[in-house]
Amino acid sequence: MERGNKERLNPSNFSSSILLARGLSFLDVAHYKHKVSDICNDVWKITPTTASRASFNTNIKNSIIPRLEDEGFIEFDSHKQFVESCMPYPIGSKLFVQKNLIGIPRLYQEQINHFDIIRNVQDFPELKSEIESKSSKPQTFGRDFNALDEIDAIRTQTINGRDFTFSKAFITGEQSSETWKKVLDTADDVRIGLRSLMDLQGEYGGFIAHHEIVQATGWNSRAVNRLIRSRPYGYFSENTYS
């Protein structure tokens, strides 16, 4: 899954997504930092969508800060150097998304494939063909999938003759495509069962015991043990799986 020096999409191609990411990041950081320059430095690290710091600074100054201020999320001092107050993040973040995404139907509809693709692979790699078959906008799936691939949010690797799509977290973090190969290069019932097991683990708050799995799923103990042996390394411990 090595990546060459491919030409990346211009950040303007994802302006709405960038606005959302930077706006939410600014709201988040503003709760524990008050100097605007310090907040911007953190937002720059959180949203690396361009190699041009000048472009980033212009976007923050001319788009993000005015929008946050005009919509009442944050109050600045007269020189825009310090945050004087901000809306509580659990409220402000939802309102920000409502006003800047859900409240703009065309914007949401045009990006629905982006959300669906990321949602399908953020916790577990998935067959590209499966993601495409579930698409609510199949006519633009290829365009949207390639766009996410161009900005390196997802990557695809062929395993045993089938194309699996990974989120970037599986490649750049401690987990990697190599870790997942033994899981993905198995019978579909094992792979699907393991994904169901991990979803169940999430519903239990990240920790689940063997007997809880058996009780919740109705699977026999031997089948559960088989899935646990097929796990990606580090996902489950001996008696409590986390």
- Over residues 120-154, the pLDDT tens digits come to 887 788 889 989 998 989 998 998 898 888 777 78
Write the DSSP assignment of 51-110 as a string of letters.
Answer: S-HHHHHHHIIIIIHHHHHHTTSEEE-TTSSBEEEE--HHHHHHHHHIIIIIT-HHHHHH
Q: Where are the alpha helices (DSSP H) in 98-140?
A: 105-110, 112-121, 128-133
> pTM of the prediction?
0.53
Q: For residue 177, give every residue at least 6 positions away whose Cβ sits within 8 Å of its Cβ, in sequence order, or none.
A: 1, 125, 155, 157, 166, 170, 171
Class of domain 11-108: mainly alpha
Phi, psi for residue 47 in degrees, rounded to 5: -120, 70
pLDDT higher than threshold 50 for residue 242: no
Where do the structural domains in the chain lie, given as residue ranges? 11-108, 123-177, 186-242
Q: pLDDT by residue (tens digit) across 179-212? A: 666 666 666 766 676 666 666 666 665 566 667 6
Q: pLDDT by residue (tens digit) across 153-188? A: 788 888 878 888 888 665 545 455 566 666 666 667
